[in-house]
Structure 1
Amino acid sequence: MAKDNKSPQNKSRFSSWWIYGLILVFLLGFQFLGNSSLSPSSKTTTSELQEFLRNGDIDKILIITNTRQAKVFLTDEALRKTVHEDVVDQPFSLSTGNVPHYVLDYGDLQNFENDIKKIKQENNLDTVVDYTTESSLFSDLLIGMLPFVIIIAIWIYLMRRMSGGAGGGAGGQIFNIGKSKAKLFDEKTDTRTSFKDVAGLEGAKEEVEEIVEFLKNPDKYTSLGGKIPKGALLVGPPGTGKTLLAKAVAGEAKVPFFSLSGSDFVEMFVGVGASRVRDLFKQAKDKSPSIIFIDEIDAIGRARGKNNFTGSNDERENTLNQLLTEMDGFGTNTNVIVLAATNRADVLDKALMRAGRFDRQIYVDLPDIRERKEIFEVHLRPIKTAETLDLDFLARQTPGFSGADIANVCNEAALIAARKEKKAVSKQDFLDAVDRIVGGLEKKNKIITPEEKKTIAYHEAGHATVSWMLEHAAPLVKVTIVPRGQSLGAAWYLPEERLLVRPEQMKDEMCATLGGRAAEKVIFNKISTGALSDLEKVTKQARAMVTIYGLNDTIGNLTYYDSSGQDAYGFNKPYSEDTAQIIDREISKIIEEQYARAISVLKEHKEKLTELAERLLEKEVIFKEDLEKIFGKRPFESQFDTLGQETLEKPEEAASEDSEQPLEQKN
C-alpha cells in the first residue's frame, strides 16, 4: 500500500492574517459603496446647471461647502422630460438621505452663489438653495479608531517578539507565552550521537547508561522493589562533555527527549517561568517514558534568598519553586527522568540537590592522560593525517585540556595544515596548534630592541634554571623568546598531575615562577615590569596557602574559604583587622623567602644561566636536550620526567609577557 507523501506540516494552516485582510476588504467596500459621490448620479457642469435652473427644472440645490460640490434635485415635472430620461429616480446607495439627480464641482463659492441668485431673480424662481457639510463615515471611524489600532498593533508586535517570535511554535503566539520552549528530539532525524562518540568519562557513562536502561526495561528494576531515579545532575568544568553526554543519552534511549536551556524559563512577565515548567512536565508525562534535559540549570536553580537585596518577589524563585514541585510531584511510575548540567553546582539550591529530586550527581572531571588519548581518537576520525600519529605523545602534550580543548586542537591543526598548502595534517601541525591555542598567535614582526630581547632571554633562562634545579618544580621542556599572543617570551613544562599538593611543592613552584625576576636582578641588578603575571601567580598561591588551605604556621589550621558562596560579594571579612595584617605579613614573607631562594640558586649557577641565555638569544627556541647539555641530567629524576623524552613537549605557555603559568592552575 502506497504511503501518502503529504506530511501534516505541508497542510495549510489558518492564519490570523486572513481575518485582518477580510476586515480591510470590508471597510474599503463600505467606503466605496457608502460614498454618495459614487452613486448613479449624473455629472453636470455649471452652464448646464444654469440652463436647468432657467427652465425651472431644479427643485433644490444643496451646496457642500467643505468639498466644493453641489447636489442638484429635480422637480417631478422635469423628471418626465426627455432631456433627463437618463437620470435614475432613486438609485441604490448605502448613503443616508435622498440621492441627488446631478452633482457638479464648482469653483469659487461666491461667484457660484451670485450666478444662482441672479438667475432666480430674473426668472422669479423659488428654487431652494441650502448649505451643509459632509463627512465620510469610514473616514470618521478610521480617524477615531486609528490611535487604538496603532497601540494594539505595537502591543501585539512586542508580545510576539518577547514571546519568542511571530512564527508558529509553542511560544510564538501571545496567548502561548506560557508554553514550554523545549525542543523535542526525534531519534531518527534530529540526533545521531551515541555513547561511542563519547570518549573517556567511563564513570559518568556508566551512570547514564543505567538511566537509559531504566527507560528501556523498567520492569528489570521495579520487579525487585527499586524505584526509577527522578533526576541526574551532570557537574563539571566547562568543555568536559556534559551536554555531549546528554545528547548521547538522547541517541541511545530511543524515547522522547526534551532539550532546553535554563534561560528559556526566564521571561520579563510574572508567572511565565512557572507556567513553562508546568507545561514542560505535562508534555513529558504525556509522552512518557521520556527524558527532560535542562542545560545550564544554574540560570533558574540558584539558591533562593541569595542576592535578593531589594526584598522584592523574584521571578526566578517562582520558577525554581515550580520546578521543585514538579520534580517531587509526579509519581515514580510515570517514567520521566530529568537530566541537568551545570558547572556552578555550588550556587544551586539545596532543595534541588536533595535525594528524591536529583538522586544522582555525576561529576564530569577533566580527562586524564588515558582519556585524552581516547578523545583524540574520536576527533581524529575526520582528520586526514599524513602519518600514524603517536596519540600517547599528543595526550602528554595536553595536560589539563578538556574535551572541547582537544577538539579545538584537532581543528586548529587542520587549519594550520591547510594554510601551509599541505595535503594532510602532520605531527608538527598538532604541536603548532597547541602552541597557538595555549600561547596565542606568533608575532615574529614585533619590534623589540636588542636590550629588551636580552632581558627577555635572561628572564626565561632564569625560569628554566630554577625549575631544573628544584625537586618539586615541573620539568621544563621548551623555552622561547619569540613573542606569542601577549607574551614576549614563554616557557613550556610538563606539570605533574597531582591530586594533593604539599607546602614544599607549592614553594618550589613559586620559587621557579620568581626565577625570571631573580635572573634580571642577578645579571643586571635591575628589575622590569615583565614579571607581572609571575607576581600575580605567586601572590594567589601564597594567599591560598595562608587563607584557604591552612598551610601557614602563624595563622594555624584555619581557613577563610566559604564553599557555600554566602560571602561571594565580600561585604564583610571573616577575620579581624589584626588578623588581616598578620595575613598580609605572612603572604609577603612567603614570597620574599622564595625570591631570595631563587636568587641564591641563580648565583650558584650563574655561568650556566649565562650560557643558556646566550644560546636562547642565538636560537630563539631551545628544547630539553639543550638544557641537559648545559646542566646535565636533572638532579631529581621522576616518573614525570621520563614521560616526555621526545622533543617539542609543550603543554603550557605563559599567559602574559615574560612568564609562564601552569595549565592546571589556569583551569
Structure 2
Amino acid sequence: MAKENNTGPKKPKFNTWWIYGLIAILLIGFQFFGSGNFANTKKASTSELQEYLRNGDIRKILVITNTRQAKIFLTEEALNKEVHTDVADQPFSLTAGATPQYIVNYGDQQNFENEINEIKKENNLDTELTYDQESNVLTELLLTLLPFVLIIGIWIYLMRRMSGGAGGGAGGQIFNIGKSKAKLFDEKTDTRTSFKDVAGLEGAKEEVEEIVEFLRNPDKYTSLGGKIPKGALLVGPPGTGKTLLAKAVAGEAKVPFFSLSGSDFVEMFVGVGASRVRDLFKQAKDKSPAIIFIDEIDAIGRARGKNNFTGSNDERENTLNQLLTEMDGFGTNTNVIVLAATNRADVLDKALMRAGRFDRQIYVDLPDIRERKEIFEVHLRPIKTAETLDLDFLAKQTPGFSGADIANVCNEAALIAARKEKKAVSKQDFLDAVDRIVGGLEKKNKIITPGEKETIAYHEAGHATVSWMLEHAAPLVKVTIVPRGQSLGAAWYLPEERLIVRPEQMKDEMCATLGGRAAEKVIFNKISTGALSDLEKVTKQARAMVTIYGLNDEIGNLTYYDSSGQNEYGFSKPYSEQTALTIDKEISKLIEEQYERAVDLLAKNKDKLTELAERLLEKEVIFKDDLEKIFGKRPFDKDKALEAEEIAKKNKENISETETETETETEK
C-alpha cells in the first residue's frame, strides 16, 4: 500500500499567487463591464451631433469636462429610426440605462456649449445638458494602494536581508530569524568525503574515528563504564585539514550531521544568537544521536571581558553563555557531540575549553615529509601525469606546506601544463608550480637597468655563497634573478625540518640572510634598499632569540612571550625601560655580529662570489650543480650523513644491549 501511495499522482500544491491573479481578473473585469466598454457605443462628429439635435433625437447630453468628451443619449423614438439601428441594440452592462449611444470629442468647451444652446433655442428643444467628471476605478484604487504596497514590500525586503537572505533556509523569513541556520548533511545528495580522502593526520583521524564509532556502537564503550565525550576541538594552522576532517565525519557517520559556521549565530538583533543555539541543540536532540560541527568557533567563543563598559560584546557573550549551557548544563542530553574547528585557540574562553565541554583538543599540525607524500598521493589521483613522479622528491621540495598548499601546487601544475599545450603534467610543471606559489608570477618584461641587474645578481650570489659556506644554513636548491611577484630576485633553499633550534643554527641562518647586503658592501662598497625583506626577517629572528626563547646572555633565561595573547591589548610592557634599552642593544649587537661575519666570509671568497654572479648574469637561473662546480661539494652534508649512520648504529646497539639484558634477567 505504501508503494502505491508513493507512486500515485501528486496533487497540485496551493499557491498564494492564484489568489492575486483572481483579484486582478476581477478588477479588470469590473473596470470593463462597469465603464461600458463592451457596449455598442459609436463615435460621432460635432456636425452629426448638431444634426441629431435639430431632428429632436437626443434626450440628454453629458459633458465630461476632464476628458473633453460628450456622451449622447437618444430618445426612445430615435432608437426606432433606421439611422440609429447600429446603436439601438445595447448588450448587457452592469450599469444598464447609463450607457450612451454616441461619444463626441469636442474642442473648446465654451464654443461647444454655445452651439448646443443656440440649436435648442431655434428648435425649442428640451434636451438635457449636464456636466460631470469621469474617474477610472482601477486607476484610483492602484494609486491609493500603491504607497502602502511599496512601504510593506520595502519593509519585508529589509527584514529578509537582515535575517540572513530571502528564502534561504530556516532563517530566511523575519518570523524565523531565531531559528538555527545549520545545514543538515544528507549522504544521498551531498558529496561524500571519507577518511580515505584525508591523508596523514593519523592521530587526529584516530580520535575522530573513535567519536564516530561511539555513536555507531555505544555499547562497546558504555559496557566498561565509559561516557561519550561531549565535544572535540580541532586546533591548528589554516589549511591543515580541520574542516576536511569534519567533512569526513559527515561522510562516515551514519547519524545526522549539522554543519554551520560560528558567524551564523551573530546577528544585529538582540537575543537572536542565543535563540539559534537553543534551536540548533533542540533539532540535534530530536534526531539524537547526532553530531554538530561549528567551523571557526572563535567568532562566538572568544573570552568574555571582565570590564565591559560599552556593552558591545553583550550579544556575543549571551550566545556563548547559551552554548556553554547547552553543552554541559543542567539538562544536557548526552547523545549530541559537538565538533568545532579554529586556528585561534588562544583567544577562546576558558569555560569552553574545560573538560566536560570540549573533552578533547585535537591539534592538527602542518604535515611532515611523510604526510606530505600521502597528501600528494591523494591530490594526484585526478591529475594526468606524463611519467611516474617521485613523490619523495616532491615532498622534500615543499617544506612547511599545508595540505591546502599542496592541493594548490597540484592544481597550479595542471594549469601550467595546460598553458604550455601539454597533454600531461610533468615533473618540471610541479617545480614551476612550487616556484609560482612561493615566489609569485614571473615578470620577465619588467624593466631593469644593467646596473640594477648586476647589483641583484651579486646580492643573490651573496646569499648562495654564505649559505654554502655555513654548516647550519639551509642547503641551496636554485638562485634566480628573474623578478617574481614583488621580489627582484630569489634564492630557494631546502630547510632542514627541525623540532628544536639551537642558537648557532639561528645565527648561521641570520648570517646567510644578511649575505645579500654583505655582498653589495664587499663588491660595490655601497648598500641599497634591496635587502628590506632580509632585514625584516633577521630583526624578527634576533628579537625572538632575545625576548622569547631566552637565548641571550645579557637578558638571561627570561621570556616576555604571552601564549594567551592578552598582552597584545595592554598599554604597558612586561619589562622596564632599562630592560627595553638592553633588549634593543642586544638585538642590534646580534645582527651586526652576523653582518660582519658575512662580510668577512665573502671578502675571503671574493673571486668565487664574482664567478657565481657572472654565471647568474649569464644564465639568470642557476642550480645546486653550478655551485658545486665553483665551490666543490659541501663538507657538512657528508658529516650529517655520517652522523645519521652513527646514530642508526647506536640505536641498533642500544636495542641489542637491551634485549641481552632482558634475556639475562629472565634467566635469573
Deviations for 1:406-442, whole angstroms, at most 9, x for unmatched residues?
1222222333333444443333332232222222233
Deviations for 1:303-332, whole angstroms, at most 9, x for unmatched residues?
333997843465434433333333335966
* Cα distance in 2 for residues equivalent to 1:460 and 1:620: 11
Structure 1 stretch displaced more, 161-170 or 72-81: 72-81
The residue that corresponds to 1:226 in the other structure is: 226
Deviations for 1:77-122, whole angstroms, at most 9, x for unmatched residues?
8789898897589964269xx7255453340321232233223323
Post-superposition shift, 1:498? 1.9
The residue that corresponds to 1:301 in the other structure is: 301
Structure 1 stretch displaced more, 625-634 or 537-546: 625-634
CA RMSD of aligned residues (A): 3.6
Distance 1:590 1:100, change over 3 A: same
Equivalent residues of 2:230, 2:334 under 8 A apart? no
The residue that corresponds to 2:584 in the other structure is: 584
* Cα distance in 2 for residues equivalent to 1:133 and 1:157: 39
2:485 aligns to what SS in structure 1?
Answer: coil
The residue that corresponds to 2:660 in the other structure is: none
Amino acid in structure 1 at the alignment position of 2:540: K
The residue that corresponds to 1:152 in the other structure is: 152
Distance 1:388 1:138, change over 3 A: closer
Amino acid in structure 2 at the alignment position of 1:104: I
Distance 1:638 1:439, change over 3 A: farther
* Cα distance in 2 for residues equivalent to 1:210 and 1:8: 44
TM-score normalised by length of structure 1 = 0.85
Post-superposition shift, 1:58? 5.4
The residue that corresponds to 1:323 in the other structure is: 323
* Cα distance in 2 for residues equivalent to 1:134 and 1:420: 76
2:568 aligns to what SS in structure 1?
Answer: coil
> Between Structure 1 and Structure 2, how many residues are aligned?
642
* Cα distance in 2 for residues equivalent to 1:91 and 1:134: 21
The residue that corresponds to 1:598 in the other structure is: 598
Deviations for 1:58-87, whole angstroms, at most 9, x for unmatched residues?
555443222223345667887898988975
Amino acid in structure 2 at the alignment position of 1:543: R
Unpaired runs of 5+ residues, structure 1, are 645-667
* Cα distance in 2 for residues equivalent to 1:444 and 1:76: 99
* Cα distance in 2 for residues equivalent to 1:9 and 1:71: 57
Distance 1:316 1:551, change over 3 A: same
Deviations for 1:177-216, whole angstroms, at most 9, x for unmatched residues?
4433322222233132111111100000001000101110
Structure 1 stretch displaced more, 122-131 or 434-443: 122-131
Post-superposition shift, 1:387? 3.1
Deviations for 1:36-64, whole angstroms, at most 9, x for unmatched residues?
56567676665565566556665554432
The equivalences for 1:153-172 within 5 A come to 153-167=153-167, 169-172=169-172
TM-score normalised by length of structure 2 = 0.85
Distance 1:468 1:288, change over 3 A: same
Structure 1 stretch displaced more, 181-190 or 170-179: 170-179
1:466 aligns to what SS in structure 2?
Answer: helix
The equivalences for 1:332-351 within 5 A come to 333=333, 335-351=335-351
2:131 aligns to what SS in structure 1?
Answer: strand
The residue that corresponds to 2:104 in the other structure is: 105
* Cα distance in 1 for residues equivalent to 2:491 and 2:7: 61
Distance 1:37 1:330, change over 3 A: farther
Equivalent residues of 2:40, 2:90 under 8 A apart? no
Equivalent residues of 2:49, 2:104 under 8 A apart? no
Match status 1:520 vs 2:512 = no
The equivalences for 1:354-373 within 5 A come to 354-373=354-373
Deviations for 1:376-421, whole angstroms, at most 9, x for unmatched residues?
2222222333333322222222111111111222222333333444
Identity between Structure 1 and Structure 2 (%): 84
2:328 aligns to what SS in structure 1?
Answer: helix
The residue that corresponds to 2:647 in the other structure is: none
Structure 1 stretch displaced more, 308-317 or 404-413: 308-317
* Cα distance in 2 for residues equivalent to 1:25 and 1:128: 37
The residue that corresponds to 1:661 in the other structure is: none
* Cα distance in 1 for residues equivalent to 2:490 and 2:526: 20
1:552 aligns to what SS in structure 2?
Answer: coil
Amino acid in structure 1 at the alignment position of 2:98: V
The residue that corresponds to 2:562 in the other structure is: 562
* Cα distance in 2 for residues equivalent to 1:76 and 1:449: 107
Equivalent residues of 2:38, 2:91 under 8 A apart? no
The residue that corresponds to 1:654 in the other structure is: none
Distance 1:630 1:73, change over 3 A: closer
Distance 1:354 1:51, change over 3 A: same
Post-superposition shift, 1:253? 0.8
The equivalences for 1:222-621 within 5 A come to 222-305=222-305, 310-312=310-312, 314-329=314-329, 333=333, 335-569=335-569, 571-621=571-621
Unpaired runs of 5+ residues, structure 2, are 645-668
Task: Report 1 or 2 for greater relative contact order, CA contacts < 8 Å, sequence distance ≥ 6.
Answer: 1
Equivalent residues of 1:88, 1:101 under 8 A apart? no
Equivalent residues of 2:39, 2:91 under 8 A apart? no
2:566 aligns to what SS in structure 1?
Answer: coil
* Cα distance in 1 for residues equivalent to 2:9 and 2:491: 59
The residue that corresponds to 1:663 in the other structure is: none
Distance 1:274 1:12, change over 3 A: farther
Structure 1 stretch displaced more, 322-331 or 464-473: 322-331
